[in-house]
Structure 1
Amino acid sequence: MDKKYDFRKTEQEMQALWEKEGIYRYRNGREKKVFSIDTPPPTVSGSLHIGHVFSYTQAEMIARFKRMQGYDVFYPFGFDDNGLPTERLVERDGGFHAADMPRSQFREKCMETIESYEADFRKMWQSLGFSVDWSLQYRTVSGLTAKISQRAFLDLVRQKKAYMKESPVLWCTQCRTSIAQAELEMKERETTFNYLEFQAGEEKLLVATTRPELLYGCVCVFVNPEDERYRRLAGKMAKVPLYGFEVPILTEEEASMEKGTGAVMCATYGDTADVGWCEKHGLAYREVIRPDGRIAEHVPVIGGMKVKQARAAIIEALEQAGALARREELTHLVAVHERCGTDVEIIPSNQWYIDVLSQKQRFLDAADEINWHPAYMKSRYRSWVENLKWDWCISRQRYFGVPFPVWYCKNCKKPVFAEADQLPVNPMEELPGKKCSCGCEEFLPETAVFDTWATSSVTPLINARYGESDDRSREILPMGMRHQAHEIIRTWAFYTIVRSLYHTGSIPWRDIMISGFVLAKPGEKISKSKNNAASSPMQLIETHSADCIRYWTAGARLGTDTFFSEEELKVSKRFLNKLYNAAKFAGMHLEDYRPDCGETVRLLPPDLWILERVKEASGEAAAFLEEYETGLARKKVDELFWEDFCDYYIEIVKERLYQPEKHGEAERRGAQHALYHSLLGILKLYAVYIPHMTEYIYQSCFRGFEGAVSIHQLLWQQEKADELLLEFGGHLKETIGRVRKEKTEKQMSMKEAIPELVITCPGKLRKLYKQSETDIRACTNAAAIIFRS
C-alpha cells in the first residue's frame, strides 16, 4: 500500500480494472438468481447536481449489496432524452424556437445537444464508480425504444385502453401543447375577486370571478338549489355585462353558497369545475383563449390580447360601463405547468388518451402488491390515484419525441395504424402502405408525439426488450426494484404501474425505493431549473473523491430530505483516513502471514470475539439493506469499525502482534488470523459504500490469497454469531473502557502501570477472561488481575 492514498490516481485505476474484468456484467441469470433494477433515466434537461448523486448513489449501493449476496444483478442505465424537457434545453442553449425551423433541422440540433450532455452524464456516473452494466444502456430517443413504445401503444389501442377524442384538455400556452394532470403544480398568485353585475330580468345579479377575461365565454350562471337567495331566479335568463347576450341561470349542487356571492359564472373553460358542469348540463363551448395564449380575434374589446393584458383591459371596460360593483384583493392557488411555470388553460383539442379513470381500483390494489420503502410513501400514491380527475393525455404538440404510428384517412378521417413490421415508423416521412377501409389511399399523418412519460413509463419493457426476438421478460420481470424520488410518484411510479398492468398483467417491480431531496435551504430543493447547487458533481468528485461523496450520501434515512454543504464532507474524509491507516497497520503486521500456511494458530477470546462481531454486523447491516436503509446499515458497519475494531480490538492485540517472544508465536498467528479476516469482513461491508478504497486495499493485501479478481465478487458472511463470545466482547469493552476513563479522570497516561485490576464478571465469562489475561494486562498495564463473580 502507498504511504498516502492518492484518490485521483487510484479511483481511475480501480474503475479501469472493473471495466477490463467485466466485474459488473450481467450474466443472463445462467448461474445465479437475477435481481433486476429499474433505474430512472435522467432527463436531459440541464446539468446534473448533488441531488442526483444523492438518490442514484443510494440505489447503486443496493446493486452492490445484492451482488455481494450472490445475485446476478441486472443493472442498466438509460437517458430520457426526448420530449418537452429536452426541447426546452435545446431551445435555451441554442437561442431559437423549435417552431421557427423545419422539424428535421430541429431534430438534428436536439441530437447534437443530447450527445454532449449524455457524454457528461455518463462520465459523472462512471467517476462515482457506478456498478452499471453499460452494455445495457438505453435512450428514450433510440430506434429500439421508439419501436417498443409504438408497439406498446398499438397494444393499448387493441385493448381499447388508448383512444382519441376531442374534448377540453389541460394546455400550456407557453409550450403550446397539451399536458397531463400529473404535470400540474399549484402556485400562489395575487389577483382580484371581481364582482360583476349581471341583469336577471329587473334584478341585478352579482357574480364574483377571478377570470373576467373569460366573460365572453360565459355559458351559464349556477346557483345552489338550497340557496334561498336565488331560488326565484332558477330557470330564468341572465344578461352578461358588457356583451349583452343572455345565459341561463341553473341549479348545481356543487356550487358553493359561501364563495363570492353564491352565484357562479360558468365559462368555457375557467377550471375543471366548468368542464364537469358543461358536460353534465350539456352546455355549448364558446371560444375565448386560443392555443397560443391570446384571446381569439372575434372576442369584442379584448380580441388578440394576451390573457393578463386582456384581464386588465376588460376590468377597465367593465368599470367604464358601470358593471363592476367592487373588487377584492385575493391570494389563491393557480395550476401552472411544472416545466415552465405558466398558468395552465383548458381548451378543446383532439388528443390521444390512456384510460386510467375506469381502472382506479385496480391501480390501488396494485399498490398493495408492491413493497414501498419507506412504507408511508404508499399513501402518497394512493392519494394521487384516488383524486384523479382526468384520463392520461399522452399526445404532445411538440417536435422531438417518439411519433404516434398513426395516419388519418383524408376521406373518412378514420385513424389507420401501422403494422408491427413497420415499427418504428415516422408517419410524417412514411405512408401506411395500405388502403383505408373506405378505399381511400390518401392520408394525413399524426403530427403529435408521445408525452415523454409515455416512453419512460415503459422502462421495464425497454429493459426487457418487450416483443423483440431476444425478449428477456421472463428473466427480469417483474423487476426486483425501482428507485426514484418522491415527487414523481404521481408520474413515473403511477404511469409505470398503469402500463405494466395493461401490458403484462402484473406489477412492474416487487420493491420501490423512494429517496428524499437534497435541500439548498429550508424548503428549497436543489434542482436543475433553480440552478442553486454550489458545485457540480464532477467538481466535488475531483476535489474530495468519489468515495468521500458516496459515504456522505448514505448519511440520511431513506425518503428524508437532507441539506448539503462541503463542510459535511469532513466526516467522510476523517473516516477514509482512519480506514486507510487501519489497513496500513494491519498490512504491516500481515506481511509474513499466509492464511493457508498450516502453521500453528492459537485464537484467543478477543480474536474469536472480533470475528463474531463481523458476523453480527454483517447480519444487522444486511437486514437494513434489505429494507433499502443504506444509512442505518452504514451506522452498524461504522460501529463495528470505529469502536470494536479500532478502539478496542487493535489496542487489545497490539502487544501480541509486536512482541511474539513475550506472548508466543502461535498467539501472534492467532491475532494475525483475526486481523486478516475481520479486516476483510469490514472491507466487504464497506465495499458497497466506498468501492474504490476497499478495492485498492483488497488488491494490495488480500487478492493473492482470496483468489477473486475483485472484492466486489466476494460474498458477505451470513452466519449467526456466537452469543457468548459477543457477550464476552461487550463485557471486555466495558472493562477496558472503565480503566481508560479512570486513568483520564486521574490525569494518568494510558501507558502508566496500575498495580491491580479487579474484574467482576459472570461465571460463564470467567474462562474466556482467564484465557485473555495476557492481552488484558498488556492493554491496561495492570501488574495483577483479580477475577470476581
Structure 2
Amino acid sequence: MLSKKYNPSEVENKWQQYWQDNEIYRYDFNSNKETFSIDTPPPTISGSLHIGHIFSYTQAEIIARFQRMQGKNVFYPFGFDDNGLPTERLVEKEEGIRASSMPRSEFIEKCLNTTKKYEEEFKSLWTAMGFSVDWSLQYETINKRVQKISQKAFIDMAKVGKAYIKQSPVLWCTTCQTSIAQAELETVDKDSTFNYIPFLVEDEELIVATTRPELLYGCVCLFINPEDERYKKYIGKTALVPLYDFEIPIYPDEKVSLEKGTGIVMCATFGDTTDLEWYEEHKLPYKKIVETNGKVSDSVPYLGGLKVLSARGKIIELLKDNNLLRKSDNISHRVSVHERCGKPIEIIPSKQWYIDILSEKEKYLKAADSINWYPASMKAKYISWVENLKWDWCISRQRYYGVPFPLWYCNKCGKPIFAKDEELPINPMEYKPHSICSCGCNEFTAETAVFDTWATSSLTPMINSDWKGDSDLSQKLMPMGMRTQAHEIIRTWAFYTIVRSLFHTGELPWKDIMICGFVLAKKGEKISKSKNNGTLSPKDLIDRHSADELRYWSAGARLGTDTMFSEEELKQSKRFITKLWNAASFCIMQLQDFDGERPEELLPIDSWIIEKAKSIEETMEEYLNQYEIGLAKKEIDEFFWSDFCDNYLEIIKDRLYKPEIHGSNERKSAQYALYKSLLEILKLYSIYVPHITEEIYQEYFRAFEKDISIHNLEWGIDIDTEKEKILEFGELIEGIVSEVRKYKSERNLSLKESLSNLKVKIPKEFNGYFNGTLKDLKACTWAGNIELHCDEKFSVEIIK
C-alpha cells in the first residue's frame, strides 16, 4: 500500500542512490543490443547552472530514458567543458585577479581548483534531477586523455595543411586579450555619433561621415560608388586627410551605400570587417592604430597611448578646435562584439593558427542533407551560417588555461616542429624537441597560445569513443545516434563538429540532431550565465518543489521553441504528481488480493482501457522518435486524466467494490485491466517523472515483475482484441458518460443523482460489447434502466 501522501524529498534521494548502487544506467560494452549513443553538450565552466540548463538538458535526458525503454543499450556520457576563456574569466572574477598579473602556472592551478568545484556542483545537480547518465563515461576537456585526442587531431590536420599558420588581420578582443573566430561575434545596437569631417580634394571639401574618427591617422583611402553622380568626378584623385595632412587615393567600389552618411566612405585599417574586405581586395597598405591591449599605438600623433574611447573623445575635441568638424549626429548602429564579454572587437594583424573551412563549404552544406534535423527548420540556420562564412576558423587563443599547441618554432628558419604522437599530451613550454630542425638548428621557441575551447569540444564524438586510444570504440559508436544542443550554437558546436568529424573519420558525427529552445527571463531575453538573470536557482527549486516537478515542466514545450518560466508554472506539475499518486493509491488498494493471473475473459471496457494504453504508447513512440517530447507528454496526459481517471476508474468502481453483485470473475477482469494499464501508464510516465514512478513500481509491481527497476522495463503491452472496434466502442461509452455528466451539471444535480432511464442508440456491431458493459454503465450513471437501440447514428436520451 502507498502512503497517504507522497514525500518527494525522501523518495528522490533514495532512488537516485538505488540507481547508482545497482548501475541501472551503465552502458554494457558486451551487450548484443542495439546501441543508441548520445552526444551531450559538455556545460562550460563559466558560472552556476540556471533553469535554462534544466530545461534543455532534461529534454535530452528524457530521450535517453525513452530509447532505453525501447530495449536499446544506451551510451549516455557526460562531460565538462572546463578549459578556455569562459573559465578564465570566471576565475578572474571570483578571485579578483588578472591572469596576466601572475605566473602562468599559478593561474592554471587556480583554474583547476575552480573547475573541480563547479564540476562537483554540476554533477550533484544533474544527479538530483534524476539524470540517467553513465557517470563512468565522464570526461573533462582539460584532462590528459582529452588533451591527447585534441593535440593528435590538430597535428593530423596540420600535417596535410588543413590547419595552417599565417600572419594576417584577425578578429581581436582587446578586453579578453585574444584572437577570436567569426562564430564568436554577436551584433548589438550601440549608441554612437556620425561625425562629419572635411577631406580636401584640390581645395574642395569632400565631407566624410564616420563613427570612428580616432582612426583618421590609419585612413588609407576613400571609396565612392562609381554610380554616384555627385562624386564620380573625384575618383582617381587624392584627398588630404584632415588634421594629419597626408594624401590618400580615392577609389571606386559598388559596396558604398548611396544613402548612408554622405555617400563617401573612409577606409582605415581597420574600422570594421568591410575595411578588411577592401584591404584585401584592393591590396591596400596597413597602418597600425590600435594595439592588442586596446590602446592607440604610441606612433599615432595626438592620441598615442590612449584607450580607444578616450582617443575618440580627444580627436573630436581636436577637430572642433581646428574647425574640422562640420556636425555630429547621434545614431544607433549595429556593432560587432565578442559574445564572451560583450565588448566591441578590433581587427588587428597577428600570426594565428587556422583550420581551413572556406575551401569545402559545399561539402559542409551537403553534409546537412544527410543529418536528420529536429525540428527540421533548424537546418536552415546551419545552411545560412555556412553560406555566409567569410573567414577560416581561427583556433589559437592568446590565453593561459587551455589545451596547448603541441609544437615549437625553429629559432633559425621559423619552421613549426610538431610533437611526436607518443609524446602526447604535451606542454611545449615544459619540454624541448628530441630532434633538430631540418635546417640544422637545435634551438626552439615554444608556442604559448592555447586551442580555442571549441577546437577541443568539437571533438566530443571522438572523445566519447576514445578515438585512437586504448579502447577505441569509433567503429561501434560513430556516427552517434543523437546530438542534443541549443540553437544558438549551431554555428559553433554543430558546424565545427561536422567539420572535424568529416576530416578525421570520414563519417558524419551523428545521425540525428535535437535542437532545444531557450528559457526566457522576459520576452526576447534568454536566461544565461553571462547575463546574470537566472535568479531562480535550480537547487532551490528542487528543494522547494521536486526534481520530478521540474522535469514535468521541462517536457511541456515543443522542441526548439523558447518558453518563459516562473515558479507559478510548477503548480501544474504539483497537481499532476498528486493526481498520479492518488490514482495509483486507489488502484493498488483494489489490487491487494490480485494474483497477477489473467482471467479467462476480459469485459469489453477492460479490454478497451488496455488497448487504449497500447494505442497511446504507439503514438508516443512516433512523437518521441521525432524528439517531440512535449507532444508525446500531451498524449499520455490526456489519456491519464480523461480516459483512465475521469472515465475508466469511475466506470469500474462499483464492480471493484461489489463483487457480490457483479461477480468475482468480473472483478478480477477489472483488476487485471487495472494492473496492466496502470503499469503501462507508469512506464510511459517514467521517462518524464522517474522518481515517483519508481516508488510506485517498487511498492507494488516489483513483487510481480522480474526487473529490479521500472527503468529496466521495456514499453509494450500485450492484448488480443479487435483493436479498431474496441477503441471505437470505448469512445461511445465515454460519450454516454459525458452526456450524463453534462445533463446533471446543467441542472445542478449531484453526479450520484438517480436517473430513471437512458435511451442509447449505437451501431449494431457494438451490441455485444455494450451488453457486457451494461452493469458498469448503470452503476456509473446511476440509471435505473438503460434501453439499447441499434442505429448508425450515436445518441443519448436521458429521462429523469
Instruction: Give the TM-score category using the shorter length.
Output: over 0.9
Note the alpha carbon deviations across 1:756-786, whole angstroms, 9 max, x for none.
Answer: 1111101111110011111111111211111
What is the distance in 2 between the residues matched to 1:539 and 1:302? 52
For the pair 1:646 / 2:616, whether they are aligned, the reply is no
2:389 counterpart residue number = 388
Give the alignment of 1:133-148 within 5 angstroms: 133-148=134-149
Instruction: Provide the residue aligned with 2:701 in structure 1.
Output: 702
Relative to structure 1, the CA distance from residue 501 to residue 29 in structure 2 (aligned partners, 3 Å threshold; closer, same or farther) is farther
Please say if 1:758 is aligned against 2:771. Answer: no
Q: Tell me the distance in 2 between the aligned counterparts of 1:282 and 1:111.
A: 46
Question: Following TM superposition, by how much is the alpha carbon of 1:601 offset from its aligned partner in structure 2, in angstroms?
Answer: 4.4
Work out whether 1:317 is the aligned partner of 2:305: no
Deviation at 1:499, TM superposition (A): 1.0
Q: CA RMSD in A?
A: 1.2
Q: Is the 8 A contact 2:50 2:534 kept in 1?
A: yes
Q: 1:398 to 1:590 in 2, by over 3 A?
A: same
Task: Verify the 8 A CA contact 1:29 1:72 in the aligned structure 2.
Answer: no
Letter aligned with residue 454 of structure 1: A
* CA distance in 2: counterparts of 1:73 and 1:264, whole angstroms: 59
SS of residue paired to 1:712 = helix
The answer to whether the 8 A contact 1:519-1:561 is kept is yes
Counterpart residue identity of residue 748, structure 1: L
Q: CA deviation at 1:39?
A: 0.4
Q: How does 1:45-444 map to 2 (within 5 A)?
A: 45-444=46-445
> Would you say the 8 A contact 1:602–1:669 is kept in 2?
no
Q: Deviations over 1:226-271 (max 9, x none)?
A: 2233333222221111111111112223222322222211110111
Asked if 2 retains the 8 angstrom alpha-carbon contact of 1:548 and 1:569, the reply is: yes
Matched AA of 2:685: Y
Give per-residue Cα distances to partners, 1:401-420, cap 9 Å, x unaligned: 00001100011111111111
2:45 corresponds to which residue? Answer: 44
Shift of 1:744: 1.9
Determine the structure 1 residue equivalent to 2:13.
12
Match of 2:675 in 1: 676
What letter matches 2:556 in structure 1?
G
1:206 & 1:287 partners in 2: Cα distance?
A: 24
Give the conservation status (yes or no) of the 8 Å contact 1:29–1:475.
Answer: no
CA distance in 2, matches of 1:499, 1:719: 46
Question: 1:3 offset after TM fit, Å?
Answer: 2.2
Residue type at the aligned position of 2:83: N
Give, as a single letter, the amino acid of the residue that structure 1 aligns with 2:205: K
SS at match of 1:324: coil
Aligned counterparts of 1:208 and 1:744: Cα–Cα separation in 2: 74
Q: Is residue 680–residue 717 contact of structure 2 (8 Å, CA) maintained in 1?
A: no
Q: Is the 8 A contact 1:547 1:689 kept in 2?
A: yes
Q: CA deviation at 1:222?
A: 1.5
- Partner residue, 1:541: 542
CA offsets per residue over residues 45-91 of structure 1, 9 Å max, x none?
Answer: 00101000000000000000000011100000000000000000000
Matches of 1:646 and 1:375, distance apart in 2: 36
Q: Is the 8 A contact 1:619 1:718 kept in 2?
A: no
Question: What SS does the aligned partner of 1:787 have?
Answer: strand
Secondary structure in 1 matching 2:208 = strand
AA aligned opposite 2:247: E
Offset at residue 533 of structure 1 (A):
2.2
Residue type of the partner of 1:268?
T
1:689-743 Cα deviation digits (max 9, x unpaired):
0000001111111111110111111111177980100000000000011111112
Aligned-pair distance for 1:151?
0.7
Given the superposition, is the C-alpha separation of residues 719 and 266 from structure 1 closer, same or farther in structure 2, using an over 3 Å criterion? farther
- What is the CA–CA distance in structure 1 between the aligned matches of 2:581 and 2:263, rounded to whole Å? 73
**Residues 1:718 and 1:749: Cα distance change in structure 2 (over 3 Å):** closer
Amino acid at match of 1:647: D
Q: What's the counterpart of residue 774 of structure 1?
A: 775
Provide the rounded CA distance (Å) in 2 between the counterparts of 1:553 and 1:97.
38
2:409 touches 2:417 (CA, 8 Å); kept in 1? yes
CA distance in 2, matches of 1:784, 1:254: 86
Runs of 4+ in 1 over 6 A off after TM superposition: 718-721
Overall identity of the aligned pairs, in %? 59
Structure 1 residues 29 and 187 mapped into 2: Cα distance closer, same or farther (>3 Å)? farther
Local SS of the residue matching 1:653? helix
More divergent stretch after superposition (686-695 vs 520-529): 520-529
SS at match of 2:108: helix
| Residue-by-residue CA offset, 1:461-505 (whole Å, 9 max, x unaligned) | 100111112110111111111111111111111111111111112
- Aligned equivalent of 2:793: none
Task: Normalising by structure 2, report the TM-score.
Answer: 0.97
Q: Distance in 2 between matches of 1:661 and 1:194?
A: 95
1:73-123 alpha-carbon deviations (Å, 9 max, x no partner): 000000000000000000000000000111110011011111111101000
Unaligned runs of 5+ in 1: none
Contact residue 676 and residue 717 of structure 2 kept, 8 A: no
Q: Following the alignment from structure 1 to structure 2, what is the Cα–Cα distance between the partners of residues 249 and 164?
A: 33
TM-score w.r.t. length of structure 1: 0.98
Once the two structures are TM-superposed, the CA of residue 224 in structure 1 deviates from its matched residue by: 2.0
1:555 and 1:631 in contact (8 A); partners too: yes
CA contact (8 A) 1:601 1:669 kept: no
Q: Partners in 2 of 1:132 and 1:210 — Cα distance? A: 52
1:523 Cα offset (Å)? 1.3
Give the equivalent residue in structure 2 for 1:690. 689
Residue 706 of structure 1: SS of its match in structure 2?
A: coil
Q: Distance in 2 between matches of 1:284 and 1:615?
A: 73
Distance in 1 of aligned mates of 2:76 and 2:195:
57
Q: In structure 1, how many angstroms separate the alpha carbons of the residues matched to 2:629 and 2:745?
A: 36
Q: Distance in 2 between matches of 1:452 and 1:504?
A: 21
Alignment-mate amino acid for residue 76 of structure 2: Y
- Whole-angstrom CA distance in 1 between matches of 2:481 and 2:159: 29
Is the 1:477–1:509 Cα contact (8 Å) retained in structure 2?
yes
SS at match of 2:169: strand
User: How many residues end up aligned between the 2 structures?
Assistant: 787
Q: What letter matches 2:767 in structure 1?
A: R
Bigger drift between 679-688 and 352-361 goes to: 352-361
| Displacement after TM superposition at 1:585 (Å) | 0.7
Deviation at 1:579, TM superposition (A): 0.5
More off after superposition, 490-499 vs 44-53 = 490-499
Question: How far, CA to CA, are the matches of 2:747 and 2:215 in structure 1?
Answer: 84
Asked if the contact 2:662–2:775 (Cα under 8 Å) also holds between the matched residues in 1, the reply is: yes
The alignment partner of 1:482 has SS state of: strand
Cα distance in structure 1, aligned partners of 2:586 and 2:203: 98
* Greater shift in the superposed pair: 712-721 or 581-590: 712-721
1:605 to 1:42, Cα distance in 2 relative to 1, 3 A:
same
Give unmatched runs, 5+ long, in structure 2.
Answer: 791-800
Corresponding letter in the other structure for 1:535: L
Higher deviation after alignment, 732-741 or 501-510: 501-510
Q: Which moved more, 1:446-455 or 1:197-206?
A: 197-206
- Do the aligned residues in 1 keep the contact of 2:461 with 2:509 (CA within 8 Å)? yes
